[in-house]
Chain A
């Protein structure tokens, strides 16, 4: 077992453990922090496969943006000291059955399928390549989704403002 394998399995363990903690922790702020670790682990995996740009985006947008947003909203809407109720046990059981069933099904498919791995071609995801692809309009270019995403972000921004805006006459809350 090589070094990168050891590192990968370590990171994988960290991701799984923190994901589990994030969905089971009864303190909401902690759940958010565990999520941060799980996302960090993902970023680390991106680093391992040499997708540095993606790793950077993951860190900036997820860890820097979304998690901060979540923490803010937690601070706005919850008492952070308060322990959340445990979910109903029947719910846990049912969901566990569902989750385990799904996992089993997927694992069954994965383990029974032989993937033909290709050796690395040595093409690097350098900033130049990414930039050219992202704004390229020939084959292999992504300018259309790029523009669509930009519109979507604009719409989401306006929508978020409209939704969260306080209703004028009331003024409390």
Chain B
């Protein structure tokens, strides 16, 4: 049990949450921030220690570092709580603790003058705890529990500015949409556990000695396919895949560091992690489900990239970009095979997850620094910021290059592997992926040029560089964005646990880099200086542009479905039935009771003499009846 200390990685943020939560308002000064940061700092250290220890041994077996039975149904079916270490969970531990630590540090500067500082750090610690618990889950059910905890903490953090009605609405939207998706997840879990008799990942991810006790099918698909599709629905909800993505752009109402941590680097990749975790199951039993994963991923990546090109809110652009990148990861998982070169997609997906966490968190933190300086989210009110925020400018540029996939930044390597994986299997998906690579470069540099170049706007007060405590984490992340691409990722993580040598497919790489450069150049042409050429191009696209600007009216479709169909045609008649039949029946009973009681309450008048009168009359009547009866 050499890994027993890993329980502390999860437990420490919980401890910080409890201290900050229970002591909220009583802790002196800004100590709550430091409590949370130190807790997550120790977790980070332990995670690195774990990663070093785990990856330095040649075996890639699953290790149960800690386990306790929580709920026991029978010998095989029981719910445990524990810590499972395998390549992906160790990698996720590193990602989550690193990004968390950076965000916690950054938040100390960003949230300095905010009301509810204690609360913020309590929620943030809760989130870190939940996310860490999620990735080390030993079984599906533990994962589901932490999955919901993640949802709750996300809800709490999006609604952090609870006096702002838009934030409240956004938090509700995020919670309801993900909850709806989690319903599918839960049903999927129950189906899987019903037919396999276990929740345990150790057994579930080893398809060779797993058998499904049913051959039942529904709508032409086998039960297991349905179960895995439902589980993917949960993952799609958390990872903002089309059509369950609508909560993510609105979730940007939360504080920017929260967006960086939750809605860019960690929580939204939980869906990818989920599919990756169950990948052997998907691959062995439900190739159809994998095709769905690939299709949804491909569609979302293109869809989100298109929308991102038209948005004006800096955080929304990043949110759609996140969706697009997660779509990439899903696509890579969907096209992946199992073992050896076939499993390239799996490795590429998690590789991209890893690198994306760094540069996307950096982008969000950079956006936070900009918003902090300009006090606006709208990029039309920004421009020429490179003079005021030189360091932020540089860091943002690094992140943009990374996400655009320009060598030697990390995004290039991971994106290249994804493209290579699709190239080898599905030419159409490859086409989409390449197009999205270009679009990504375009919209990121559109953002970059508008914000940092462009024409200087008039600001209420001169924008200033962010304080050191905010810059420091950004610098760390920037270093990560540059260097993580050189990690020989295939040695650590692959679909079958065997070491996989990643090598650059030059034809693919050249294509993607060329496309990316094209995107950058177009963006430079349009946005380097203020000109109306971009508007002209936009207008030439006509309805496509307007619909992309309006996020392809998905929100409106949702409203149409919920309000127009569900509410009006189903809920309202049911409500009518409830009010006028069921409630009315109850009201009738109540009215009858009321009437009777008002009739008989006169008997209870409190007048002793009336009582005595009735009593004596009763006695006389009884006596009379006795006399009558005995005669």
User: Which residues from chain A sit less than 8 Å from chain B, CB to CB?
Assistant: 91, 94-95, 98, 101-102, 105, 109
Contacts and interface: CB of A to CB of B under 8 A. Distances in A.
| 3 pairs of A and B residues whose beta carbons are closest in the complex | A102-B620, A98-B617, A105-B620
B623 interface: yes
Nearest to B624: A105
B613 A94 contact: yes
Given A98-B617, A98-B620, A105-B627, 11 more contacts: A91-B609, A94-B613, A95-B613, A98-B613, A98-B616, A101-B620, A102-B616, A102-B620, A105-B620, A105-B623, A109-B627
Nearest to A106: B623
Contacts of B624: 105
Dominant secondary structure of chain A at its interface with chain B: helix
Contacts of A102: 616, 620
A28 to B, nearest CB: 17
A109 B624 CA distance: 10
Nearest to B627: A109
15 contacts: A91-B609, A94-B613, A95-B613, A98-B613, A98-B616, A98-B617, A98-B620, A101-B620, A102-B616, A102-B620, A105-B620, A105-B623, A105-B624, A105-B627, A109-B627
Interface in B505-530: none
Nearest to B617: A98
Interface residues of B, number: 8
Contacts of B616: 98, 102
Contacts of B627: 105, 109
Contacts of A94: 613
A120 B616 CA distance: 36
Contacts of B623: 105
Contacts of A95: 613
Interface string B600-631: 00000000010001001100100110010000
A84 B168 CA distance: 72
A109 B627 CA distance: 9
A109 B609 CA distance: 27
Contacts of A91: 609
B509 to A, nearest CB: 94
Contacts of A109: 627
A102 B621 CA distance: 9
A30 to B, nearest CB: 22
Contacts of A101: 620
Contacts of B620: 98, 101-102, 105
Interface string B309-346: 00000000000000000000000000000000000000
A102 B609 CA distance: 17
A62 B616 CA distance: 26
B169 to A, nearest CB: 57
A57 to B, nearest CB: 28
Contacts of B609: 91
Nearest to B609: A91
A89 to B, nearest CB: 15
B631 to A, nearest CB: 10
A101 B623 CA distance: 12
A109 B626 CA distance: 12
A94 B616 CA distance: 12
A95 B612 CA distance: 11
Nearest to B623: A105
B153 to A, nearest CB: 55
A90 to B, nearest CB: 12
Interface in B378-407: none
B613 to A, nearest CB: 7
A105 B626 CA distance: 12
Interface in B84-118: none
Interface in B191-226: none
Nearest to A108: B627
B299 to A, nearest CB: 81
Nearest to B619: A102
Nearest to A97: B617
Nearest to A102: B620
A101 B621 CA distance: 10
Contacts of B613: 94-95, 98
Contacts of A98: 613, 616-617, 620
Interface string B525-557: 000000000000000000000000000000000
A101 B617 CA distance: 9
A91 B612 CA distance: 13
Contacts of A105: 620, 623-624, 627
